[in-house]
Amino acid sequence: MAIAMKIASQISKSSWIRRMFEEGERLRQELGPDKIYDFTLGNPDVEPPEAFGRELQALAREPLPGMHRYMNNAGYAETRTAVANKLSADSGLTVGPEQVIMTCGAGGALNVVLKTILNPGEEVIILAPFFVEYKFYIDNHGGLPVEVWTNHETFQLDIPAIEKAITPKTRAIIICSPNNPTGVIYPAESLKRLGDLLKSIHNRSGHLIYVISDEPYARIAYDGQHVPNIFPLVESSVIVTSHSKDLALPGERIGYLAANPRMATVMQFMEGAVFSNRVLGFVNAPALMQRLVAKLQNESVDIAEYQAKRDLLVNELSDMGFSMVKPDGAFYLFPQSPLASDVDFVKLAQKHHILLVPGAGFGAPGFFRIAYCVEKEMIQRSLPAWSALAREAGLKG
Ligand SMILES: Cc1ncc(COP(=O)(O)O)c(C=O)c1O
């Protein structure tokens, strides 16, 4: 085989979203793009905020000397200071630029953190349903994923289940709020319970377990809800995030990691993470994007637009008989599959030209994911097809 057996096997296990996307391409060619209702990808359909274009033009008009050169592996001081100021305001703690590293997206940040902390064979708890890349990222650095379910009805943290899964080999727990794929936000009380549990384990045995808080959707919260900052609630925490979703810049690969200033080992952690960013070959996050996002820390795409799409889908699909948790944020819905097999349901949906991802792709069979970062007009056009699909799957429709 021309490629490593492990990669070949991982490709075959990870291909749900890709397979659906390819099927979508095939159907689009065959039937025309307006006949296909593609809800598979978390690729924002909106443009970045106006301020992004303004700052980009200003920089192009008046370029800074040396602005395309290598820099400190952690990123520009100016950008890290802007991020640190925003984190200080959000957390009520004093976060400094020395606790921030600019990264190639949240994916890059996750890999940097995992490389920094994992010894071979150590375990990382991931909470089903989860973003499937976590498993591959953990494997990249010799770790072992341990799957623990969130509450089956609410998708909220199940602290006793997490406690039960902790072993002497547990090195980290990855959480994601607002969540992909469920859209739930974890309230401050449950994050504090998690923080208290980990602190008591640390005090009792010296066993340090990190919480890696994956937050690319933190600015996409609905109904005036607030996403609690993890730093005051969990001492051993690291934020990994990006501007892929909140500024609609996924192709630009710009994000950051930030370590909790209250963590006793923060300096050692940061030294390791700067080194990891370098030797993973990222070297530093894209220079031009760093200059721009430094000016955009209080900006985001129009959240009201996403909320309107959520409301439209939740109301219409609920009326048709689908059952789901109403998302608090992000731009995903994760309803129960009306058929016993989520894969069969997704295949049936294809017959109605609706493209979805089965819950199996998120470690959660029995559900399916709708990514509604698509045009509202497409959602509206898709409703008769949803209704026919619902009826064929035994719901009211
Ligand atoms: C939960 C979650 N984490 C991380 C990422 C990766 O984001 P980025 O594009 O910033 O690497 C995504 C992207 O969809 C995501 O949904």
Q: Is the pLDDT of residue 18 over 80?
A: no
**Gap from CA of 107 to ligand 1 centroid (Å):** 6
Cα 384 to averaged position of ligand 1 atoms, centre (Å): 31
CB-based pocket (< 6 A), ligand 1: 42, 105-107, 131, 176, 180, 214, 216, 242, 244, 250, 255
Structural domains in the chain, sorted by start: 5-48+301-392 (3.90.1150.10), 51-293 (3.40.640.10)
Model confidence, pTM: 0.97
Ligand 1 atom closest to the Cα of residue 42 is 14
Query: What does the pLDDT look like over 59-87, one tens digit per residue?
Result: 999 999 999 999 999 999 999 999 999 99
State residue 80 phi and psi, 5-degree precision. Answer: -65, -35
Residue 24: in which H helix or E strand, if any? helix 16-31
Query: CA distances (Å), 191 to each of 47, 115, 141, 162, in order?
Result: 33, 24, 26, 12
Of the pLDDT bands very low, low, confident and very high (cuts 50, 70, 90), residue 15 is low
Mean pLDDT value across residues 4-10? 91
DSSP strands (E only) in the chain = 37-38, 100-103, 123-128, 144-149, 170-176, 210-214, 237-242, 255-259, 332-333, 354-355, 357-358, 368-371
Residue 216 CA to ligand 1 center (angstroms) comes to: 6
Residue of 110, 126, 133, 220 to mutate, ligand 1, most atoms within 8 A of C-beta = 133
Q: What's the whole-number mean pLDDT along residues 295-319?
A: 97
201 alpha carbon – ligand 1 mean position (Å)? 30
Residue 223 pairs with which residues in a beta bridge?
none
Cis peptide before 97 (omega within 30 of 0): no
Q: How far is the CA of 40 from the centre of ligand 1 (A)?
A: 14
Residue 395 has what DSSP assignment?
S
Report d(CA 81, CA 215) in Å as an integer.
19
Mean pLDDT of the 279-285 span: 98
Q: Yes or no: say if 270 and 63 are a contact pair by the CB < 8 Å rule.
A: no
Mean pLDDT for the stretch of residues 324-351:
96
Confidence of residue 247 (pLDDT cuts 50, 70, 90): very high
CB 246 within 8 A of CB 207: no
